């Protein structure tokens, strides 16, 4: 019976160990899956927010579309009115231009008649000159007749009377010729001035004809542009009408997509909460098995955590009576460092921890390849120092890199760390997601050992590992 009892206890121990391992695996998987679902939920929520922005943009677009539709309608009406007015105006302008063209044509046709009139005046002037010549010859004939009448005496008396009449006729003819010449000269001067002005007007009329032709062409082009404007306005109105149909479809799709996104976000958050609850129960099992006295893969790391906690405790207690004051050790007035992202903080303990605690953390981290890192966490989640690999100087503008490699002097808090800080057991074994920032995470197992100094609970010593 004793052998059977021993065998049963061994079998139960193996069963408990397997259950503990499975619980640990489940907790890690839940943590990992919870992180994925959490990221998915954040992404869906972010997309939902962007969707709301898109919906708001679509609403603004709809307002703008309504204004554009109204403006297009007014534009089309204006184009139609402009086309009617232009057609009427074009007809009136064509008629007016035709009248002006005929008038200009009539004026320019006078040019030949004026030339003929000037030629006639010239001919009249020539006749006047001929009359003057005849008057001179008549005077000469009268002079000869008087001479002959004086030679003939009484017998030639009639010739003297005839000579006198011829002389009188010559004088009258000469005076008439001079008067006609003067009148013709005045007429020519007046006609010349008038004709010069008319010729200038005729030249302007011919120039006006060219301008009228250009105006006709411009009116024709204007009419074509108005027709084109009307056609384009009609095309724009048709495009707007088709766009309205498509935009209404987009509006309906956005509403439906928003509803689906909201439901997906709700379900993703519900799944995350269920996974968190399952992770918590698995962690409870993992932690209970670790306290059950059964050896598992986690047992060695629990032992390493206790060793590290004892070394840290011995170090701190040694220096509490000298270099390190209790006030500095428990200092929670964190002072933000300028130009750090994420923000790093100083306190009275951090510099001491860098000098004395960090070498211990490095040494214990290198004791097992599965250990990701050892660190200290105070009651507020503040890490005064970290291993050297995770305590590198931050680089400006590289937030993601700083979140992973400059973790010292930062503040981190998660549900498992909070449970360990608030718990009263001698150690805690949990699986959790190590926050690497902006949705990045790493699923770890961690052993938390409470640290107490000067009779007060300071925080935790943590060993994070991956198996």
Confidence of residue 244 (pLDDT cuts 50, 70, 90): confident
Q: Whole domain around residue 414: which residue ranges? A: 297-465
Q: Regarding predicted confidence, which is higher, 243 or 53?
A: 53
From 285, 311, 332, the end of a domain falls on 285
β-pair partners for 449: 461
- Condensed to tens digits (0 to 9), the pLDDT of residues 174-225 reads 676 677 667 677 766 766 666 666 666 666 656 666 766 776 776 677 777 7
Q: Which of 257, 285, 313 is the last residue of a domain?
A: 285
How far is it, in rounded angstroms, from Cα 158 to Cα 161?
A: 5
Three-state secondary structure call for residue 304: helix
Q: What percent of the chain has pLDDT over 90?
A: 32
Residues 314 and 460 in one domain: yes
Long-range CB contact pairs, 151-155, < 8 A, 24+: none
Q: How many CB atoms lie within 10 A of CB 303?
A: 12
Does a structural domain hold residue 290? no
pLDDT band with cut points at 50, 70 and 90 for residue 240? confident
- The terminus-to-terminus CA distance of the chain in angstroms comes to 38
Residue 424, domain CATH: 3.30.450.20
What confidence category does residue 285 fall into, taking pLDDT thresholds of 50, 70 and 90? Answer: confident
Please name the residues in contact with 34: beta carbons below 8 A apart, sequence gap of 6 or more.
272, 275, 276, 279, 433
Give CA–CA dist 439/403, Å, rounded: 12
Of 217, 251, 285, which marks where a domain is finished? 285
- Mean pLDDT for 72-84 is 73
The predicted pLDDT at position 320 comes to 94
Q: Which residue has the higher pLDDT, 192 or 53?
A: 53
Question: Looking at the predicted structure, is the pLDDT value of residue 458 above 80?
Answer: yes
Q: What's the CA gap between 402 and 390, in Å, rounded?
A: 9
| SS3 per residue for 403-427 | HHHECCCCECCCHHHHHHHHCCCCC
Place of tokens 């098995």: 289
Does any domain span residue 250?
A: yes
Q: Do 320 and 256 lie in a common domain?
A: no
CA 330, 331, 333, 339 torsion-angle sign:
negative
Distance (Å) of CA 394 to CA 198, 285, 380: 98, 39, 22
Give a yes or no: residue 292 inside a domain. no
Query: Domain containing 178 — which CATH number?
Result: 1.10.287.950
pLDDT(372) > 90: yes
* Two tokens, residue 280: 């918590």
Residue 108 scores a pLDDT above 70: no
What pLDDT does residue 432 have? 82
Q: What is the DSSP string of 177-234?
A: HHHHHHHHHHHHHHHHHHHHHHHHHHHHHHHHHHHHHHHHHHHHHHHHHHHHHHHHHH
> How many domains does the structure of the chain reveal?
2
């Amino acid at each position: 019976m004793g052998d059977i009892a021993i065998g049963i206890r061994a079998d139960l121990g193996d069963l408990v160990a397997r259950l503990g391992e499975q619980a640990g695996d489940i907790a890690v998987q839940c943590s990992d899956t919870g992180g994925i679902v959490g990221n998915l939920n954040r992404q869906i929520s972010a997309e939902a927010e962007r969707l709301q922005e898109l919906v708001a943009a679509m609403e603004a677009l709809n307002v703008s579309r309504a204004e554009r539709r109204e403006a297009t309608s007014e534009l089309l009406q204006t184009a139609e009115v402009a086309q009617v007015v232009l057609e009427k105006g074009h007809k009136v302008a064509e008629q007016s231009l035709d009248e002006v063209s005929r008038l200009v044509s009539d004026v320019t046709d006078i040019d030949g008649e004026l030339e003929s009139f000037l030629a006639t005046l010239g001919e009249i002037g020539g006749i006047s000159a001929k009359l003057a010549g005849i008057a001179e010859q008549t005077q000469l004939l009268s002079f000869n007749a008087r001479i002959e009448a004086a030679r003939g005496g009484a017998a030639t008396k009639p010739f003297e009377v005839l000579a006198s009449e011829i002389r009188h006729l010559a004088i009258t003819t000469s005076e008439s010729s001079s008067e006609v010449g003067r009148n013709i000269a005045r007429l020519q001067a007046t006609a010349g001035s008038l004709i010069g002005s008319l010729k200038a007007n005729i030249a302007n009329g011919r120039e006006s004809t060219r301008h009228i032709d250009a105006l006709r062409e411009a009116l024709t082009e204007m009419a074509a542009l108005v027709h084109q404007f009307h056609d384009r306005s009609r095309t724009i109105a048709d495009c707007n009408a088709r766009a309205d149909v498509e935009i209404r479809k987009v509006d309906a799709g956005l509403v439906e997509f928003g509803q689906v996104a909201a439901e997906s976000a709700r379900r993703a958050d519900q799944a995350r909460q269920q996974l968190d609850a399952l992770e918590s129960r698995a962690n409870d099992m993992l932690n209970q098995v670790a306290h059950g006295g059964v050896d598992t893969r986690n047992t060695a790391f629990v032992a390493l955590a206790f060793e590290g906690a004892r070394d840290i405790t011995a170090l701190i207690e040694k220096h509490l009576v000298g270099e390190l004051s209790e006030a500095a050790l428990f200092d929670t007035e964190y002072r933000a460092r300028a130009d750090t992202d994420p923000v790093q903080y100083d306190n009275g303990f951090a510099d001491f921890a860098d000098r004395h605690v960090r070498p211990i953390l490095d040494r214990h981290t290198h004791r097992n390849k599965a250990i990701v890192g050892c660190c200290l966490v105070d009651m507020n989640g503040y890490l005064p120092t970290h291993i050297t690999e995770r305590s590198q100087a931050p680089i400006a503008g590289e937030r993601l890199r700083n979140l992973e490699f400059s973790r010292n002097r930062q503040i981190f808090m998660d549900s498992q760390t909070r449970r360990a800080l608030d718990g009263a057991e001698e150690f805690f074994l949990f699986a959790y997601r190590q926050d690497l920032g902006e949705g990045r995470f790493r699923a770890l197992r961690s052993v938390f050992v409470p640290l107490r100094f000067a009779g007060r609970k300071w925080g935790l010593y943590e060993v994070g590992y991956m198996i």
